[in-house]
Structures are given as structure tokens and as C-alpha cells.
A and B are shown apart, each in its own frame.
Chain A
Amino acid sequence: MTPERIATPDAEDVYAADGDSDATAYTAAGPGDFDAIAKAQAERGDETLVINMGPQHPSTHGVLRLMVECDGETVLSARPGIGFLHSGIEKNMEYRSWNQGSAFVTRMDYVAPIFNEAAYCLAVERLLGIEDEIPQRAKDIRVLFMELCRIASHLIAVGTGGMEIGALTMMTIGFRERERILDFFEAVTGLRMNHAYLRPGGVSNDLPENAIAELRDLIKWLDKHFPEYAAFCNENPIFKGRMCDIGYQDLSACMALGVTGPILRCTGYGWDLRKQQPYCGYQDYDFDVITWDTCDAYGRFRVRLAEMWESLKIVKQACDKLEASVGQPVMVENAKIGSPSELALGPDGQGNSHEHVKKIMGQSMEDLIHHFKVVTEGYRVPVGQAYVPIESPKGEIGCHVVSDGGARPFRVHMRDPGFNHLQSVPIQCEGGMLADIVVCLGSIDPVMGGVDR
């Protein structure tokens, strides 16, 4: 179905060919179609309102567009329109080496970048057949990073979700804690976001010397401040008035729409891939799957809040494990796959390793060859396909990777939970109040970078 084309002889359309007066008119409301809806509506003359919410409405979590039909303040229909942040990441990856893919996927869901990298790396490792060769320390670092990232993502979800209903303090304290976590990420990877830290075969560099001490500080900080969220919100009558029974979606609706994550768990079903289909050694960690039984936005909030505590529990265990395994490798032994890392982070944020350079330039011809081949050519991945799902803060994030045996991916597809979950906007919003759309969206927690890729 193409949008209704509106002839606009006087509007200058830079995309129209010469003499093509029939081009689609791009107006502030979009490519023509919304104008047509509004016009038809005006002719109908009843009390139904057609409202275009976004793209770039402050509470649409990025460039999401919602086309809402209202009778007074009651929502008759809500249709999400996505694609405004589509950046062709999947296509671009087909032109880069397998290792570079990590730097592309991390930009998809930018609130939880580590999970994109983890799903991609695990999928590539399955194709390479090196799943059993990943060093234990690399797995523990991955778990540590994923759980810290889960906390950071949940902080954004409850923080911005709170801000949108007027609980502004939730946002300010949420970002305060998140910033502490990102400081730790920066100290290890060199970047607050878009780390490209997890690579097929392990992680790009080991933790710096002071990392464990900083991590202990961070844990202490989070331990001290997490109770604030519960104290502000859990029994707050205004907060509960806005959140309870809003965005209702029960288990059967979740199943039909493939909804996972906190939305599924707040229906009382404890489905968590970390428990059900463990990866990265999650079976060795002690934590609980959090459920709630209200199927609404408040339940999702409580699930997220409790999951942050569970994640902190895992972070503490990972911290102990990492303290015990200092000095062990963080990348597979296979020199044809493992990038010659062991980089130390310089003051300029760039990584380099003087020992490594000294070795390849002065002592080992083979290492020099491996370094050169891995950096320029990369490695070839055996023909086949793999789909690896993991539990991201939002739900199941899966990476479908196809290789044709070349040095570049043949096809990479990310199954982002937000993409799937936005389909449930109508089921959660229709029949409710206009103002509750914002609560529903906040409780779904979509990140448009991941949705549109």
C-alpha cells in the first residue's frame, strides 16, 4: 500500500524528478498519509480525534511515531510507526570483517549495548565451533558486564518511565547511578557506550589493575542507593494510581505476541533465558527469577526493581570470581581467531600494548604474521547458520548469523525485543486513556536504535 499521493505544484520537493509534480508531499506530519487521515476525519465531523504523537515526542523513547484515534480521552486505536532510526546496520555488517561486526551491533540498542555484542559474539562463536574454548575469565567478565548493563538499562527504564508521569526524581537519581556504572565501563573499555568490548573469542582487553577496587566501590554505591527507588515509588499513591492496572497484558497475549522479559514475567511466568537456556556460565551463579502477578505497568516496574537487586547479586559473585582469576587469559588461545589484544588503555582512550609490539617486532615472526592476518583479513567462519538468544533487560535478544565461509558475514539479523514488543502497544493501550499511552510505552521500554537497527 502506498501513501496517498498529493499533488503539490508549489511545494518544492527536492526528491522529485524534473517535471514530476506528482511527488509525495513531505510535510511536518509525514509523507502525505496523515494529512489524508485528518482530512477524512474533518469531513466525518464526529467527536473522534486523530492525534499524531511523535516522532520525537519526549515520551516516545526516541523517534517513535504513534497514530492515535481518540474519542474524547479514550483511545480507540493506537498504531505505532517505526523506522525513523533505521540505519542499515545489518546491511553494513555484510561489508566488514567478523570482528568489526561487534562495533556495529553495539550501536543497535544503545541503552544495553553489551547485550547486542554478547548475542552476536555467541552466535559467531557457535559458527566457529569454539564455544567450549572461551576462557573462564572471559565468560566471567561477560557476565559482569551484562549484569551491570542490565542494571543501567533498568535504571533508564524506571527513571525515564517515572519522569514521564511526573516522578522527576526517578530520572535524576536513575541517571546518577547509571553514570557510576558507565564510569566503570569507561575505565575498562575506554567508552561509556558503544563499547565493542565483547569480541568473538572473548573480550577485547583484560580488566585494568584497579578495576576490582573500583567495582567494589560501585557495588557499595549501588547497595546504598537502590533502596531509594523502592522508598520513593513502591507505595506512593500517585505513582500507584498512574501505574496499577495500566497496560494490562496477560500471559496468553504475551505468548501470542512473542513477548518476553519483564512484560512476560509480570504475568507470573518466570521465563528467563539465563535459567532456562544458560549461556556464558550463568548456571554457576546464584540468583532468582523475579515474577509479579498483576500483568500491568506497576508489575513491570516492580520486576525491574527487583531484577536490579538480583543483578547486583550476580555482579558481586562475578567480582569474587574475577578477583581469583587475575592473570588468566581473556581471549581464545587460537591465534588465528583471537585478536592480538591484551591492550592497555592509554590516556587518549586508544589501546596499545608495548609488550605485544616488542614481541612481534623483535622476537616472533609467527605472531607478527598472525597479527597482520587477523587485523587485515580477519578470519573465515565455516559455512552455516546459528541463532543465539540471550536474556537482555528487555527480553529475548537473538542474533541470527549466516556465513558463506567468507571473511565477512553473509547475513546478520538481530531479533530485538523492542521491535517485537511494540506490536503490543495496541493491545495495551486501546480502550484506555490517552495519558496512559505514555505509561504503557514506558513499561514496554523500547529503544528505537534496537527496534529500527
Chain B
Amino acid sequence: MSENLPVAAVPAPPISTRRGMWGEGSGDTSGYGGIVRTVTPPTGSEPPFGPWYDEVIARLAELVAEPFQQVVFDRGELTLHIPRAKLSEVVKALRDDAKLRFECCMSVSGVHYPAMTGAEFHVVYHLQSMTHNRRLRLEVSCPADDPHLPSVVATYPAADWHERETWDMFGVIFDQHPHLTRILMPDDWVGHPQRKDYPLGGIPIEFKGAVVPPVDQRRNYR
């Protein structure tokens, strides 16, 4: 069992590197301008994780060859980082195996990490096993210059609209999705609004003798 478990110590690429206290585009008057912080995602705790988590990991490793890139157990939630080539196989095993039986895909959401070169887009699947009353998170990443992921609609029909929304908001293309069109934005919209490089928009608020800049241009703590 243990040789199937992934080594936890794969140093994840940083989410971002920060200097000082303020957001981009404003002078740092706080005196903390020299501070540089590198933000890395949590690696979580070492196995064994707890009651059922290790069983699920071991069972999945039996059914699918090398299914994880990384396993993170953080704040009571188990996250499996899956290579995208394995995603279809993994979700099918997770749904159909009697010991796993994650029947429902409750939510799919995208996250854009511009600083993670080669893995800019992450798509996060939240699975629910009603049989065993367990929850599991799958995380799959793809690079910005090849934003393709296999669709899980064939296994989880509920993911249909969720994947459409993720395509709409992040521009991640789900291959073999039955009808990957925009869902929240108008059909002829250009761009993918939830990407970090997509501006929030907004206009300055003008008062007599003063102007308040739009919220994404204000000086902000971060």
C-alpha cells in the first residue's frame, strides 16, 4: 500500500511573490517595502490522514495506475491532484467502485494562478459519496498555452453546466463536452472574465474636488 502512496514532498510552484504591504501600482510608504514573501500552497499533513482517507487513496491506487501527482490533506479536507490524462479514468473509478462510490459531482470551479508557470489553470471538482457520506476534492491543472482538460460529463452529467461555466469564466476547454458554449456571459462575449488578467472594470467616482478611482485601481492591502 505504502509504495502506492505519493511522496508528499513535491515542492509546489509558488502562487505569487509579494513585496511590501500594498497592491501593485502604488508607492509603499509603510516602511515594509523591502519585505519579500513567497506564497506557496499548503502541502498538508503527512499520511496516515485518518479514518477513511487512506483507504480511498489506496483503493484508487489499486484501480488506476499512478493516479496522483500529489495528495494534500489540509483542514480536514482531502485533495487529490490528478494528472489530466488520468482524469476520466479516475472519476469513473471513483464513481463505480463499491468501496469508493462517489456518486455525485457537486461542484466544478476554476482557479487561475498566473504565477504557476505550466499549471496556470486549476479546475477543482468536489465529489460527494452519499453511500459512505464522504467528500473528496480533485484538482487538475493545465497550462495557459494548452488549456485542455477531459470532460467528466460522461461520468457525471451534473458537471455539464459547471464545465460550461468554467469554460465561460476561465477559458478552459473541456474536450468531449457535449455542448461547450458560454452560459453566463452573452454568446458573443470576448474574453474570460474570471481570469486574473481580465480587468474588473469600473469608472472613477467623481466628487466635487475629488475623484475616487475604481476599486481595482485603489491602493489595497493584500
Contact = CB atoms under 8 A, between A and B. Distances in A.
B153 to A, nearest CB: 11
A83 B216 CA distance: 24
Interface string A347-387: 00000000000000000000000000000111000111111
Contacts of A384: 41-42, 74-75
A406 B20 CA distance: 12
Interface string A401-439: 010111110110101000110110000000000000000
Interface string A1-32: 11100000000000000000000100000010
A200 interface: no
A402 B116 CA distance: 15
Nearest to B155: A256
A82 interface: yes
A90 B184 CA distance: 12
A274 interface: no
B130 A33 contact: no
Interface of A: 1-3, 24, 31, 33, 82-83, 86, 88, 90-92, 94-97, 126-127, 129, 255-259, 271, 276-277, 376-378, 382-387, 389, 396, 398, 400, 402, 404-408, 410-411, 413, 415, 419-420, 422-423, 452-453
B193 A404 contact: no
A257 B158 contact: yes
A398 B135 CA distance: 12
Given A407-B221, A410-B111, A415-B162, 20 more contacts: A2-B188, A31-B187, A91-B194, A126-B76, A129-B75, A257-B158, A258-B105, A258-B106, A377-B221, A383-B39, A384-B42, A385-B111, A389-B128, A398-B107, A400-B109, A404-B16, A404-B39, A415-B109, A415-B126, A419-B161
B124 interface: yes
Contact of B39 (A31, A377, A405): A405
Contacts, number: 141
A405 B37 CA distance: 10
A88 B161 contact: no
B222 interface: yes
Interface in B107-130: 107, 109, 111-112, 124, 126, 128, 130
A381 to B, nearest CB: 12
> Considering the complex of A and B, which 4 residue pairs feature the smallest CB-CB distances, nearest first?
A258-B158, A415-B107, A413-B109, A83-B184
B124 A400 contact: yes
A255 B106 CA distance: 10
Task: Place the interface of chain B in its size category.
Answer: 35 or more
B176 interface: no
Interface in B54-97: 74-77, 79
A407 B221 CA distance: 6
Of listed B77, B79, B158, B193, residue having the most chain A CB within 10 A: B158
B26 interface: no
B40 interface: yes
A97 to B, nearest CB: 8
B103 interface: yes
Given A95-B200, A411-B111, A1 B106 contact: no
Interface string B143-160: 000000000000011101
A2 B187 contact: yes
B104 A408 contact: no
Nearest to B161: A423
A121 B91 CA distance: 30
A126 B193 contact: no
A384 B111 CA distance: 12
Interface of B: 15-16, 18, 37, 39-42, 74-77, 79, 103-107, 109, 111-112, 124, 126, 128, 130, 133, 135, 137, 156-158, 160-162, 165, 179, 181-188, 193-194, 200, 215-216, 220-222
Contacts of B105: 258
Contacts of A408: 220-222
14 contacts: A3-B188, A86-B184, A88-B200, A129-B75, A255-B103, A376-B221, A378-B221, A385-B137, A387-B107, A400-B126, A405-B39, A410-B111, A413-B109, A415-B109
A248 B181 CA distance: 28
Contacts of A410: 15, 111
A423 B106 contact: no
A432 B55 CA distance: 45
B111 to A, nearest CB: 5
B187 A92 contact: no
Contacts of A378: 221
A449 to B, nearest CB: 13
A93 B14 CA distance: 22
Contacts of A376: 221
A402 B193 contact: no
A328 B217 CA distance: 41
Nearest to B222: A406
A255 B184 contact: no
A86 to B, nearest CB: 4
Contact of B77 (A2, A3, A386): A386
B130 to A, nearest CB: 6
From B107, B111, B165, B215, residue with most partner A Cβ within 10 Å: B107
B216 A95 contact: yes
A315 B133 CA distance: 27
Contacts of B111: 385, 402, 410-411
A3 B185 CA distance: 13
Contact of A90 (B158, B162, B187, B194): B194
Contacts of A127: 75
Contacts of B184: 82-83, 86, 452-453
A407 B15 contact: no
Contacts of A94: 200
A398 B127 CA distance: 12
A72 to B, nearest CB: 27
Contacts of B179: 1
